[in-house]
Amino acid sequence: MIQLTPAEESYLKAIYHISDGGKRSVSTNDISFQMKTKPASVSDMLRRLGEKEVIEYRKYYGVNITEEGKKLALQTIRKHRLWEVFLVEKLRFSWDEVHEVADELEHIKSKLLIQRLDEYLGFPKFDPHGDPIPDEYGDVRSRPRLTLSELDINATGQLVAVKDSSAAFLRYLDKVGAYIGARIKVLDKVEFDGSVEILVDNKKTIFMSKDVAGNVLVMV
């Protein structure tokens, strides 16, 4: 069985995300930007991951994640998202506080612990940001979603996820009163700048910029 160090797991998870689940190749610069490190360090890590056959890397052609690499990346993602649920639901962290803590916890190796954690949480399907949690076999439950900016006037739906899970963005949503699970209705869209006016839970009116609306995902 392939054994990865925590750093290798982090890189593999990043490659999985950047490549949209392995649908496209990614460049060294893409990975460098995502990992906030120098290209030279990335090249060294890619060599190590290539030796373990979890990626394929050809200079000038980019990086592709292998099927085995996808399986390992999905297990790391599964642990990360389960820990986020635990931190929010059981330890009362807010959703903007959990990402960095989960980054550390995701490298715990015990399969039994993760199985028990999943059971303890009631087998959640989505994390606090609305992202699907892979099951123990790496299967991911998806659901059709649109960005808020794609909805027409008078369209209704439920806010189910965010594309931007940065702490600053999540704190902004908290401030304006938008949250996962909220029922929304589009009241108006401004042609000039793409901003939208929405009604939340039939109670509160919120104005969102084009950038914000493009990072909020809705199920209609």
Q: What angle do CA 79, 31, 41 make, to 5 degrees?
A: 100
Domain count of the fold of the chain? 2
Spatial distance between the Cα atoms of 34 and 26, rounded to a whole number of angstroms: 11
Q: At 152, which CATH number?
A: 2.30.30.90
71 lies in some domain: no
Domain end call among 30, 47, 65: 65
Report the predicted TM-score, pTM, of the whole model to 2 decimal places.
0.90
Closest CA to 162 of 178, 139, 142: 178
Domain that holds residue 202: 146-219
pLDDT in 10s for each residue of the chain, 220 residues: 789 999 999 999 999 999 999 999 999 999 999 999 988 889 899 999 999 999 998 877 889 999 999 999 999 999 999 999 999 999 999 999 999 999 999 999 999 999 999 999 999 999 999 999 999 999 998 888 999 999 999 999 999 999 999 999 999 999 999 999 999 999 999 999 999 999 999 999 999 999 999 999 999 9
Domain end residue (candidates: 65, 83, 112): 65
Last residue of a domain, one of 38, 65, 92: 65
Has residue 121 been placed in a domain? no
The CATH number for 21's domain is 1.10.10.10
Please indicate, yes or no, if residue 153 is contained in any of the structural domains: yes
For residue 129, being part of any structural domain is answered with: no
